[in-house]
């Protein structure tokens, strides 16, 4: 086993701070794994190598001759694949068995949450997830915009971030709850509705949102089942405002009616979808709307409540698997996005393993985690594939993830934007 400190030494030696931009632009690296998973094909390319120049993949194939100035990284026993993309993260949350969501939103200072988020960003990157779609700070305001800048400026290591900022809920429809009704308490998202909704969409975009997240349904009171929150007209107006600004819209929806309204409004992905019906998934397929079943969050919450993982599954866990099966039957594109933050950051592989348990093949899951998510999130022209011209976000894992998805837990190398953050120690 390599020691963590030696891996860190490698990482520090290759941060942007120690290499000038010009040096990095021309730096040539030849990565020599046993095989390449290109992000699209369900078959490995054995004996392929990948040449990286600066922050781009220059060449991929079986007979690449490295120029003499190239540094060569042998990666025996590994599969080299695109950097993985987490579809549903909350870098500003930490596991609910450490602190309940209410306490995180109400009692943790913003600076504490931000400091913790920098650690979450680092462990996510080191787990081979080089991009995250972070779906709301849950009360931490616009701190995701600042964290993204800190990563881009090389101040802290972390994945590329697509950020939702505060997310949008209907007034009265979100928590924390249970206070004297006349008292204003911090909320996990920004309230807006009616005519004001469109302007809140615009303000969030102006403040740095790469995408807009709306809660199409939620519990109106403690102990209630989820019910729709926004009207179809409100959702349509929000989507129109976001799309005209070039931003995708993500809908939290677990009820069939909440999902139906979100689909009718033209959102881009739906999160959770526990009570989705065959009709709703057929409508999603017809409009090419992606689905993130977030199985890992359901699994984690059930375990926090005492479930030991044995049969029978609690209702919430079973509903997630049922929704996945219905969505797949309808041909809906499945996103890999686990709602990580509910459980530990860096454990992103948990959702991948549960998707396999839910019937997807390891190859389908690996494709979803790379080119699938990249296309779904509008990044397909530069990320998600090991192909000449793409950005050099690359991960080497021990073994073959296309036959055993757990291989993505054994990360031997992480490169993001051509910068090596984790790798084998040289001679």
Binding site for Zn ion (CB under 5 A): 339
Residue of 333, 314, 234, 222 whose CA lies nearest to 274: 314
How far is it, in rounded angstroms, from Cα 52 to Cα 139? 40
DSSP helix/strand/coil, 19: coil
- Residue 90 C-beta: closest distance to Zn ion, Å: 6
Q: Report the residue number, 34 or 271, with the smaller CB distance to Zn ion.
A: 271
- Residue 213 C-beta: closest distance to Zn ion, Å: 8
- Residue 242 C-beta: closest distance to Zn ion, Å: 18
Q: Report the residue number, 339 or 351, with the smaller CB distance to Zn ion.
A: 339
- Residue 270 C-beta: closest distance to Zn ion, Å: 12
Q: Report the residue number, 268 or 339, with the smaller CB distance to Zn ion.
A: 339
Bridge partners, 36 (sequence order) = 45, 80
Rounded to a whole number of angstroms, the distance between the first and last alpha carbons of the chain is: 15
DSSP helix/strand/coil, 413: strand
How far is it, in rounded angstroms, from Cα 158 to Cα 123? 8
- Residue 9 C-beta: closest distance to Zn ion, Å: 35
Q: Report the residue number, 48 or 343, with the smaller CB distance to Zn ion.
A: 343
How far is it, in rounded angstroms, from Cα 51 to Cα 65? 9
3-class SS string, 168-211:
EECCCCCCCCCCCCCCCCCCCCEECCCHHHHHHHHHHHHCCCCE
H-helix or E-strand containing 154?
A: none
Q: Report the residue number, 189 or 363, with the smaller CB distance to Zn ion.
A: 189
Q: Report the residue number, 45 or 213, with the smaller CB distance to Zn ion.
A: 213
- Residue 253 C-beta: closest distance to Zn ion, Å: 12
Residue of 242, 348, 351, 236 whose CA lies nearest to 292: 351
Q: Report the residue number, 274 or 339, with the smaller CB distance to Zn ion.
A: 339
CB atoms within 10 A of CB 370: 28
Q: Report the residue number, 339 or 393, with the smaller CB distance to Zn ion.
A: 339
Using CB positions, name the residue nearest to Zn ion: 339
Question: CB of 268 within 8 A of CB of 248?
Answer: yes
3-class SS string, 84-123:
EEEEEECCCCCCCCCCCHHHHHHHCCHHHHHHHHHHHHHH
Q: Report the residue number, 351 or 400, with the smaller CB distance to Zn ion.
A: 351
Bridge partners, 416 (sequence order) = 419
- Residue 136 C-beta: closest distance to Zn ion, Å: 6
- Residue 271 C-beta: closest distance to Zn ion, Å: 6
How far is it, in rounded angstroms, from Cα 312 to Cα 397? 34
DSSP at 276: -
Q: Report the residue number, 58 or 134, with the smaller CB distance to Zn ion.
A: 134
How far is it, in rounded angstroms, from Cα 212 to Cα 235? 11
Q: Report the residue number, 38 or 217, with the smaller CB distance to Zn ion.
A: 217
- Residue 174 C-beta: closest distance to Zn ion, Å: 12
- Residue 122 C-beta: closest distance to Zn ion, Å: 21
- Residue 135 C-beta: closest distance to Zn ion, Å: 5
> CA–CA distance from 123 to each of 47, 53, 75, 261, 338 (Å)?
30, 26, 22, 36, 16
Bridge partners, 391 (sequence order) = 56
């Amino acid at each position: 086993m390599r020691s963590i400190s030696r891996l860190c030494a490698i990482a520090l030696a290759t941060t942007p701070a120690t290499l000038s931009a010009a040096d990095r632009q021309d730096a040539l690296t030849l990565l020599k794994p046993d095989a390449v998973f290109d992000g699209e094909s369900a078959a490995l390319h054995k004996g392929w190598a990948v040449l990286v120049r600066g922050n781009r993949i220059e060449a991929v194939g079986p007979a690449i001759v490295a120029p003499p100035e190239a540094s060569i990284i042998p990666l025996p026993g590994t599969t080299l694949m695109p950097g993985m993309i987490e579809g549903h993260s909350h870098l500003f949350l930490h596991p609910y068995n450490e602190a309940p969501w209410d306490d995180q939103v109400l009692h943790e200072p913003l600076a504490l949450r931000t400091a913790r988020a920098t650690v979450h960003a680092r462990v996510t990157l080191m787990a081979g997830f080089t991009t995250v779609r972070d779906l709301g700070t849950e009360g931490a305001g616009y701190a995701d915009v600042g964290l993204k800048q800190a990563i881009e400026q090389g101040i802290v290591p972390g994945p590329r971030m697509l950020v939702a900022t505060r997310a949008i809920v209907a007034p009265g429809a979100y928590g924390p709850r249970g206070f004297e009704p006349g008292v204003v308490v911090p909320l996990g998202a920004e309230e807006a509705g009616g005519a004001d909704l469109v302007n809140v969409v615009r303000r969030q975009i102006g403040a740095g949102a790469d995408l807009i997240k709306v809660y199409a349904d939620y519990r109106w009171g403690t102990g209630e089942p989820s019910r729709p929150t926004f009207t179809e007209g409100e959702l349509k107006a929000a989507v129109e405002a976001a799309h005209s600004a070039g931003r995708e819209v993500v809908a939290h929806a677990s009820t069939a009616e909440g999902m139906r309204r979100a689909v009718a409004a033209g959102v881009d992905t739906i999160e959770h979808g526990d009570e989705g019906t065959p009709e709703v998934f057929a409508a999603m397929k017809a409009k090419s709307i992606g689905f993130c079943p977030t199985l890992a969050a359901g699994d984690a919450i059930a375990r926090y409540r005492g479930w030991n993982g044995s049969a029978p599954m609690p209702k919430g866990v079973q509903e997630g698997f049922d929704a996945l099966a219905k969505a797949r039957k309808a041909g809906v594109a499945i996103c890999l996005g686990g709602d990580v933050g509910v459980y530990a950051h860096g454990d992103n592989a948990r959702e991948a393993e549960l998707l396999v348990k839910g019937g997807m093949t390891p190859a389908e899951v690996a494709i979803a985690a790379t080119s699938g998510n990249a296309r779904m999130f509008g990044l397909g022209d530069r990320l998600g594939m090991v192909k000449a011209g793409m950005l050099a976000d690359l991960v080497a894992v021990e073994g073959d993830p296309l036959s055993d998805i757990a291989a993505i837990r054994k990360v031997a190398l992480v490169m993001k934007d051509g910068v090596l953050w984790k790798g084998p120690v040289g001679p």
